[in-house]
Amino acid sequence: MPSSGTTRFIMHSVFENRLWLAWLVKVRILILTIILGIELAIAQFATISFPLRLFVGTILLAYAVSFFYLGLLKIGGKLQLQSALQVASDLFLVSLLVYITGGVDSSLNFLYPLVIIVASILLQRVWVYLTAAVAFVLYGTVLELCYFQIVPSYAATHPGIRTLQAIIFVNLFGYAAVAYLAGLLAAKLRQADTRFEHARGALENLQALHENIIQSTSNGLITTGLDGRITLVNAAAEKLLERTEAELLRQPIARLFEDPLPIVGSERSYGEMRFIAPNNFRKTFRIMVSELYVPGRGAVGHVYTLDDLTQIRRLEREIRMQDRLAAVGRLSAAIAHEVRNPLTSIAGSASLLSEMPDLSDDHRRLLQIVTRESERLNSIITDFLAYSRNKQYKFANVDLIPLLEDTLILLEHRMAAQTTGIKIERRYSAQKTHVLADGDRMKQVFWNFCENAVRAMKKGGTLTVSIDELEHEWQLSFADTGPGMSPQMVEKVFEPFQSQFEGGTGLGLAIVYQIVQAHEGKVFVRSKAEQGCTFVLRLRKATEGTIAVPVAPSRSEAADAVPAKLIGEGAHA
């Protein structure tokens, strides 16, 4: 026979369950009344996308179910069975309301966690997890039936399949977390002697867990008040924005981005925004905004989630540029040879004609123009062939500093002879910079950067050459004080025939691009109009004892392969 303590516990449990069931019916009626009132009020002042009559019919059905359970409770019976029936019917009614009010656009999916919490109060722990699983299945079923148009959809927006899957699985995690936390909280509350102390501890644990979830997520998360000022920044957002939470709190979020932010509740609830980091690198974020809703208080602010699309957009630019370069490379050799043959005949004929004694001064001047332009066209073809033909590389372990110094010393002597008024500043953070590279090709890269800087500074200036050590790379920077480049020019600077200098062929930087690609390096440019231009080269480190084997890349490797992280990194307007 059960002991008196066990009997008292069973009687107390039955009494408590009866109170909870009565409370559940009353709260259900209250929530249904509030939802009905809100939707009817909205329907009076705005156009709603779902059928109001069907919505009201569902609310009336829920009222009828509530009154049925209230009468069943007065009759008595098995309270555990009544608890399971109420939870099951609530899940069905919530799914029906979510479907009628727009599915993915519905603001009533917050009712699922409420049902899970009620289940944790009335049922055992295993039934709580089953309730959360059923809630996830029902919510996912409603969204997918509407998405695949198996049933009529009342949603105003139609997100893509990936976004839909993300919404469903975020809700899965949320339901599981609610089931776990609610079950834990209910277990604490059932301990009669320490009920209030345990409730306080559970709430503190819940808050800490929510904060850990926010801080641990890989997506950036920012919350703001209704005035648009930042109230919370998680660790991922701090890393993406490259600023601390203390620097961001209470700042208007709209000032952080170059583009207008998405608008809550509209088709522009997400979009791509440009952001200028403190180091002047431009990033691209996908930002989604939702309403920060607190039960009992309504909307208290907005929640912004950030995804970094910078690498994806950069890769897209690389692929587009590489496609253009590949097309040029395939046609260049044939075209160059076809042009050079008649060009040689033209130049030879003009040279013979210029030696005729009876030519007038005007005729002789015209022949000089023909000869000069033929030589210029021959120079362009020579560069074109250098760009298109197979390049042989002899990779070895080399120190970049002596190679760079050879280039800079030669440049200093030339500028001194020409009195250009240009100074060279060296800023080396290391004494040895070993990489696996072709030394002669690297000198060609350095010379092209320096030559472009000198041409840009026609009235004199300063060329600053820097070497910085990164984690796995050496970074070389060539910064001039010239007029800079426009954003359009920055995007196309490594494409063939994009020279901004008079008389230039526009192939020098395209050849640089090929050389750096063959070295599996990175090259990009930073520039703003009237603020100079900086070319940046990054090459992987090599230890002093590394031995390299000479490599002769194929045509496809040299011209047609998609580069790994080259043009575009760090470029900004």
Domain boundaries defined on the chain: 4-214, 220-308, 317-560
DSSP label of 253: G
- Contacts of residue 77, defined as CB under 8 A and 6 or more positions apart, other chains included, come to none
CATH homologous superfamily, domain 220-308: PAS domain (3.30.450.20)
Same topology between domain 220-308 and domain 317-560: no
Chain length of the chain? 573
Torsion sign across C-alpha atoms 334, 336, 339, 344? negative
Rounded to 5°, angle at Cα 526 from 521 and 529:
155
- Contacts of residue 332, defined as CB under 8 A and 6 or more positions apart, other chains included, come to 384, 385, 387, 388
pLDDT in tens, 229-280: 888 888 888 888 888 888 888 888 888 888 888 888 776 777 888 888 887 7
Report the pLDDT value the prediction gives residue 566, as an integer from 0 to 100. 35
Distance CA 128, CA 209 (A): 19
Distance CA 64, CA 58 (A): 10
| Burial (0-12, 13-18, 19+ Cβ within 10 Å), 176 | middle
Report the pLDDT value the prediction gives residue 194, as an integer from 0 to 100. 57
Report the pLDDT value the prediction gives residue 6, as an integer from 0 to 100. 38
* Closest among 335, 392, 387, 331 to 514, alpha carbons compared: 387
CB distance 128 to 30 below 8 Å = no
* Closest among 353, 355, 345, 329 to 377, alpha carbons compared: 345
pTM of the full structure:
0.41
Report the pLDDT value the prediction gives residue 475, as an integer from 0 to 100. 93
536: which 2 tokens? 């940046």
317-560 folds as Heat Shock Protein 90 (3.30.565)
- CA of 333: how far to CAs of 383, 455, 508, 573, in Å? 11, 28, 17, 35
336: which 2 tokens? 């160059």
Rg of the chain in Å (alpha carbons): 36
- Contacts of residue 554, defined as CB under 8 A and 6 or more positions apart, other chains included, come to 390
Under-70 pLDDT residues of the chain: 1-17, 76-77, 188-201, 267, 321-322, 324-337, 340-341, 383-391, 497-506, 543-573
DSSP lists the bridge partners of residue 284 as: 274
Other Cβ atoms less than 10 A from the Cβ of 398: the count is 19
Report the pLDDT value the prediction gives residue 195, as an integer from 0 to 100. 54
Report the pLDDT value the prediction gives residue 427, as an integer from 0 to 100. 92
